[in-house]
Amino acid sequence: MKFDRYQHRLILANGESRRGVDSHDFLLHSTDLKGMRPADLKEAARRAVDGGEVIVNVTHDDSVDEEYSVAEPVSFKISAGGQLVVSVGHATDAVGNDEEATSAFAPLLTPYLERQRSMVSRVEMDPYSYHPLVWNIDISCSPRRRDMADLFQIGEGALALLQAFESGELTRETTLDLLRSGNANVLIGQEEGPWLDVKSAHYDLKSPSGKISIAQAVARFANAEHGGIVVVGMRGKKVPGGEIISSICPVPVDGRTLRSYQTAIEQHLYPPPDYLNIEAVPVTEGRLVVLHIPPQPEEHKPFLVHGAIVDGQIEGAFISIVRRRGESSIPITAPAVHATMAAGRALLRRGELPNEPGDHH
């Protein structure tokens, strides 16, 4: 990448060029960012201006038109000293000054950004915004082994988390980040559902029934399509049409707590779910235990629980198979289990799947 000072254009590695909107402002297409090294963009920006900050906006529009293309709320700033930050523009009237915005946004974003080797460096109000106010949140990112598309994706993730916090429209990923950032109170009033389950107190991990119960809770999400989250320390309440989270009730956590959960799951769930994460997260006056079950490979399913609870009785020799549908847990049917086993036997024996009933060849 280089800069054509005479035409005030950035010349990309593929030969295409992007003309500056003005002397300190450029517009790139999101596809331009793939493979673009942060160091190259900083050097081109240094050559573009004789000092001062350079803004690089990004558009997803089919074509790049400096006058008519709509810029995304995620952009890049390059200071006169060559420091590059990802800048996220978040519109909200929930806070009224820079100090309030920093206190609100930085703790929310920190757990997510730390995992991205990034951090909030500055929060300030856009002086040209008015109702809603726009807050520019600058994020310093490690450029090591990253291109500009990676940095842009970090900004988009931060914006999604801010918008989830603002609107209450949560996903499994943003819910996990809210929990990790100490913002579990945002979940009060949210529905339990296909990927979220809460429990007000610890499972009794000293009893066989408690160990089987936590293994089944994890298995339900491991067997589901989109994975899920089990939160211990939040209370649910039944309402017409389902169940909502009604309050936070922190649980005691010591050095053995998380290991006890891990051991119970290892003893009663097979195969072990990929990337299962068990952690304690902070809330006011205590902590919650959060079990995160990412979506699992289909070839690992069904996940089997060693032991079952039948009519309130422990049946240690039984194998239970459960999955989650909507807000209720249902057993996988005998025909479904048989079909899976038959398919596996057929592949081992002949290298082909059996015909479905009614199929003719």
- Tens of pLDDT, residues 33-60: 999 999 999 998 888 877 789 999 999 9
Residue 162: count of CB within 10 angstroms of its CB: 23
**For residues 320 and 308, is the Cβ–Cβ distance under 8 A?**
yes
Burial 46-62, CB ≥16 within 10 A → b, else e: bebbeeeebbbbbbeee
Give me the pLDDT at residue 361, please.
46
Q: Where are the beta strands (DSSP E) in 80-216?
A: 84-91, 118-125, 134-141, 196-199
Tokens 């249902």 belong to: 330
What percent of the chain is modeled with pLDDT above 90? 54
Q: Tens digit of pLDDT for each residue in 151-180?
A: 999 999 999 999 888 877 788 988 999 899
Supply the DSSP symbol for 169: -
Neighbours of 324 (CB within 10 A): 23
Parse the chain into domains and list their residue ranges. 2-167, 191-350
Angle between helices 172-180 and 148-167 (to 10 degrees): 80
Q: Does domain 191-350 have CATH number 3.40.50.2000?
A: no
Its pTM surpasses 0.85:
no
Q: DSSP per residue over 171-226, as a string?
A: -HHHHHHHHHTT-GGGGTTPBPBTTEEEESS---TTSHHHHHHHHHHHHHHHSSSS
Strand-pairing partners, residue 57, are 27
pLDDT (tens digit per residue) in 54-88: 999 999 998 888 778 899 999 999 998 899 999 99
pLDDT > 90? residue 251: yes
Burial of 4 (0-12, 13-18, 19+ CB in 10 A): middle
